[in-house]
Amino acid sequence: MYFVDSESILSPETCSVTTSSFFLSHDIRRDVRLYIASAEFSVMLDGSTIRLLRPDAQSTRGLLKKVLQAREGGGSRSFPKGFTVVDGGVERLLKHLPNAILCYPAQKGDNVGEMKFGNRDPALIVGGHRGKALEVAKASKALPIRLSRWPLPPNHEIALFNILLDRMGMIDGYSPDR
C-alpha cells in the first residue's frame, strides 16, 4: 500500500513506486497488488491481470490519468485492464485485505527473511506522505520490519521487499511455510 494525497496520484514518485512494484528484469510480477491509497479512494493495480503497463513514468502516468478520468465520469468510463478503484477511506481498504499481514519499514524491526507468514499474504505499507503511512501502520497493528540499515525512498523499499520475498520463495503464492 502506498499512501498519497489525492493530488499526488499522478506525481513522478507515485509512477516510480508503481514501476518498482511490478517490474522485475524484463517481465511484470504477476503475484503483486499495489494499492495507491488516498483519503477518499484507492486505486488497485493487479499484476495478474494488468495490461499496457510499461516501465517508463510517462506511460504509467497516462494509465493512472485514465483511471482518474473514468472515476470522475469522463473519458471512456472504463478502467484500463488490471486497474480497479476502491471507494472509501483506509478502513474500507483494510477490509479489502482480510488475509494480509501488514508490515511497515522501521529501523527497529524483524528482518523480512526471518518472518513466518504462514497462510497469509505479506503487505507493505509505505507512503509519499510518511506521516499518514505510519499512522495507518500503527492503527492497523502492522508489524515493523527492517529492510535496510538506512531509511530508503518508498520505491526502493518496495523493490527490496519484493526481492526479499522472492528469496524466501514467496513467488506466485508459493511459500515453503504454506
* Three-class secondary structure of residue 145 per DSSP: strand
Return the C-alpha torsion angle 168, 24, 95, 66, nearest 10. 180
pLDDT at 49: 93
Question: How far is Cα 123 from Cα 94, in angstroms, rounded to an integer?
Answer: 11
- Domains of the chain in start order, with CATH, are 2-173 (3.40.1280.10)
How far is 89 from 103, CA to CA, in rounded Å?
A: 19
Q: How far apart are CA 145 and CA 120, in angstroms?
A: 16
Separation CA 120–CA 100 (nearest Å): 5
pLDDT tens digits for 24-71?
A: 767 888 888 899 988 888 899 999 999 888 888 899 999 999 999 888
Q: Three-state DSSP class for 86?
A: strand
Higher pLDDT, 141 or 75: 141
Dist. CA 39–CA 84, nearest whole Å: 16
For the chain, what percent of residues have pLDDT higher than 70? 91
Residue with more model confidence, 155 or 26:
155
Closest among 60, 32, 61 to 47, alpha carbons compared? 32
Name the residue among 154, 139, 105, 147 with its Cα closest to residue 2: 154
CA–CA distance, 119 with 161 (Å, rounded to integer): 18
Under DSSP, the state recorded for 5 is -
